[in-house]
Structure 1
Amino acid sequence: MSFEEKLMSQKKPAFPVTEELNSYLIKHSRNIKIPVFYEDLLRFQGSVTVYDNNDNDTLWIRVYYSEFERQEIDLSLKKVYTILHSNGNEDTIQYLNIDAVDYCTFGNSKPFRIKVRNILNDNYTYFYVKKTDASRIYGLELEHMLSPYNLNYLVYKNTLIEEHIAGIPGDVFIKDNLPNCSALEKAQIAKEFVKFNERCMIRLLGDMRSYNYVIVPTHDFDNVVYKIRAIDFDQQCFEGKFKVYYPQFFKENITMVQLVGEKLSSPSIEQYKLEERSIVAKRILSSEKRITELVSCMKNDVISTEKNIDLLKQQIFDFTKDIPFKKSDNMGEILENALSFVKRNYENVSMR
């Protein structure tokens, strides 16, 4: 049995969207009628394997539809793009082309990736069509409120539309880019991994193996600044083992963990953890009403198993010695107590 199979308990099922969560999505303009469903895209007639620039199988296939189906699907996907990016204004549809529809059979969500090109200037972008899963929606919302990044997505009935998160996949970056980074850049990446690790743990986002996050390089004067962004939110508050919520414990991230050990001292690591906890606490305070609404949905929802809930609340209690964790009845209450713990510690420090 592999390390991940020991760490990850089982394949996570997709959880349905409750009426309460649906009402939350409507209130915050996340639930909008769209002209195409996930099942519509499954009607493809054939496919070919998609390879990367080095002729490696990407685990995506490019799908093809009958001529009649293609016209209808292309128009519907263009309309989805306008809903996602321009509030449904269809004036630009004539300038859009659907260059590719790719399907991934790897992983839980089995998404479709849509490549949209502006024919006036050849600029292109992507979006994803997936089956709805309450875990993923909770993960997207928490990322939107608690991370440095805003997320753009839509939900309608059984279909989830997600905006593409640009960046270099973590596994590709570790293999191809990291060896060529300067010593200063490596130290900065190590710092970002510590902060990313802490942020995932605080909001209980699991399974951040290297292919589930991206590295985003940004040029700043004569330096390149690197940030780390999660791109997969299926494992929000599902697993019972606390280690699953730490990216550092996955073998795919061993190079990043070693980098942290080489480039950062223990006091620096603690400093960056404290900085990230403080930043997350400020975000909790600034979005407190909306977070409370979301957590209320989670507390009335079933997004994990009793076994996982019992294990996680005990392991977090062992880590924090905070009594409310032992009294948690579901994943929503565990997350509520985790966010309260971070906020409380921040407020206590601020009052000194």
Structure 2
Amino acid sequence: MNIQKVVSYLTKFCKFSNLPSFEEFKEGFEPDDEKYRNSELDGLEREFEPTELYISFTRMSEKNNLASKIASHLWGGESQTLDFFKDIKITDVVEMSYADHKPLKVSVNLKGGIEKVFYAKPFDERRLAGLELVHLLSPDKYNFSASGEAIYEDEIPGIEAEEFEANYKGDPFKNESYVSELVKLDFLTQLLLLGDMHKRNYLVSSNNITGEEKYSVRPIDFDKIFLISKIEYADVLSTDKDKILKFLGKEKYDSIRETVKGEIRKRYYENKNRINTFLEIINESDKCTVYASDLRNSLSAFHNDIDIAYIDNFGELLKVHFERMLEP
């Protein structure tokens, strides 16, 4: 990516500041070996267990100051530390040691005992691309702040779909609210070409404000965006689609897809200029365009248009794909 264009773009939309690097924030935190030894989990459960971290008391003030700066921009939109966040206290730090980039989950206390959580991650061009595009196109907002060497993200509520399905009483694929959310996620995944969208990479949350349990599903992993050779691989429902079609019926299935397509289309029109500017930046990213040749051929076949195979500009290729997917 052209770093000057990235900084200019993100600064314009309050997404960039001179925040601590990921390594600067993480430095000094060590695994809590005693908790690991005393863990009752084993096998795969232990492999996917987050690692509790601790830091010496003498360095806690230093880390709280860094957290104050991050919080001021992430939750307050200001590059300078705001008074409200000066007394922030880190209460827990967990490393997602099973994930590719080993992000940190940081829990903090604000004034008045308010609890908040943010995630600290190394700066990654593909993750930035995914976060920004899903923020602009998804019906949900994704709050994040970036520096040249880190991305800090507001917590998204929910549990991993794998855990949700394992603990669900009954068959989760016979819950219309949950299944409908998977159909919506499937469309978003195909639109944004999200690779590696397995059940640890999207979260499920619920509410029963109306007296009826309603679910929401949101993707959280964008590190593999565009890293697919065929659009068919960007398919959340690849193994469950027949079961879902049988449960919902084709008419309702199609209606759900049309509904979310309409919501995303409106977001696309609202943010079209900003999206086009960002697509120009993506075009200059070697990491984002690594599978460009395969994607051209795949999208050409998917949209039944041979001309797509000859689009050299990756940003233009994505724009054509978006507009074809969102056609009324």
The TM-score, its normalising length taken from structure 2, stands at 0.88
Instruction: Say if 1:21 and 1:297, in contact at 8 Å, map to a contact too.
Output: yes
1:87 corresponds to: 77
SS in 2 for 1:226: strand
In structure 2, distance between residues paired with 1:45 and 1:139? 28
Unaligned runs of 5+ in 1: 1-15, 347-352
Instruction: Say if 1:203 and 1:338, in contact at 8 Å, map to a contact too.
Output: no
1:9 corresponds to: none
2:95 corresponds to: 103
In structure 2, distance between residues paired with 1:190 and 1:53? 34
SS in 2 for 1:243: helix
1:327 corresponds to: 310
The reply to whether residue 150 of structure 1 matches residue 141 of structure 2 is yes
Report how many residues are paired.
Answer: 320
User: Kindly tell me: are residues 107 and 244 of structure 1, through their superposed partners in 2, closer, same or farther at Cα, counting changes over 3 Å?
Assistant: farther
The CA RMSD measured in Å over matched residues stands at 2.6
In structure 2, distance between residues paired with 1:339 and 1:229? 19
In structure 1, distance between residues paired with 2:172 and 2:198? 21
Query: Percent same amino acid among aligned pairs?
Result: 21
9, 16, 20: which is aligned to 1:31?
16
SS in 2 for 1:214: strand
189, 214, 220: which is aligned to 2:203?
214
1:292 corresponds to: 276
The reply to whether residue 62 of structure 1 matches residue 62 of structure 2 is no
SS in 2 for 1:235: coil
289, 292, 296: which is aligned to 1:309?
292
AA aligned opposite 2:103 = P
1:78 corresponds to: 68
AA aligned opposite 2:101 = S
Mapping for residues 1-352 of structure 1, pairs under 5 Å: 18-34=3-19, 36-44=20-28, 46-48=30-32, 55=41, 56-57=45-46, 58-88=48-78, 90-93=82-85, 95-118=87-110, 120-121=112-113, 123-177=114-168, 179=170, 186-249=175-238, 254=239, 257=241, 260-304=244-288, 308-329=291-312, 331-343=314-326, 345-346=327-328
In structure 2, distance between residues paired with 1:244 and 1:28? 32
In structure 2, distance between residues paired with 1:207 and 1:331? 20
SS in 2 for 1:194: helix
327-336 or 96-105, larger mean C-alpha shift = 327-336
Instruction: Say if 2:282 and 2:288, in contact at 8 Å, map to a contact too.
Output: no
Instruction: Say if 1:103 and 1:113, in contact at 8 Å, map to a contact too.
Output: yes
Instruction: Say if 2:144 and 2:153, in contact at 8 Å, map to a contact too.
Output: yes
SS in 2 for 1:283: helix
1:4 corresponds to: none
- Superposed displacement of residue 178, structure 1: 5.5
User: Kindly tell me: are residues 225 and 324 of structure 1, through their superposed partners in 2, closer, same or farther at Cα, counting changes over 3 Å?
Assistant: farther
1:7 corresponds to: none
AA aligned opposite 1:115 = S
Instruction: Say if 1:103 and 1:110, in contact at 8 Å, map to a contact too.
Output: yes
User: Kindly tell me: are residues 280 and 119 of structure 1, through their superposed partners in 2, closer, same or farther at Cα, counting changes over 3 Å?
Assistant: closer
In structure 2, distance between residues paired with 1:61 and 1:53? 11
SS in 1 for 2:164: helix
- Superposed displacement of residue 21, structure 1: 2.1
AA aligned opposite 1:130 = K
In structure 2, distance between residues paired with 1:79 and 1:304? 30
The TM-score, its normalising length taken from structure 1, stands at 0.82
In structure 2, distance between residues paired with 1:45 and 1:87? 27
In structure 2, distance between residues paired with 1:207 and 1:261? 23
Once the two structures are superposed, residues 22-55 of structure 1 have per-residue CA deviations (whole angstroms, 9 ceiling, x without a partner) of 2211221111122x22112342363126679984
SS in 2 for 1:301: coil
- Superposed displacement of residue 17, structure 1: 6.0
AA aligned opposite 2:195 = G
Instruction: Say if 1:237 and 1:303, in contact at 8 Å, map to a contact too.
Output: no
User: Kindly tell me: are residues 45 and 205 of structure 1, through their superposed partners in 2, closer, same or farther at Cα, counting changes over 3 Å?
Assistant: closer
- Superposed displacement of residue 235, structure 1: 1.6
AA aligned opposite 1:334 = L
Instruction: Say if 2:68 and 2:86, in contact at 8 Å, map to a contact too.
Output: no
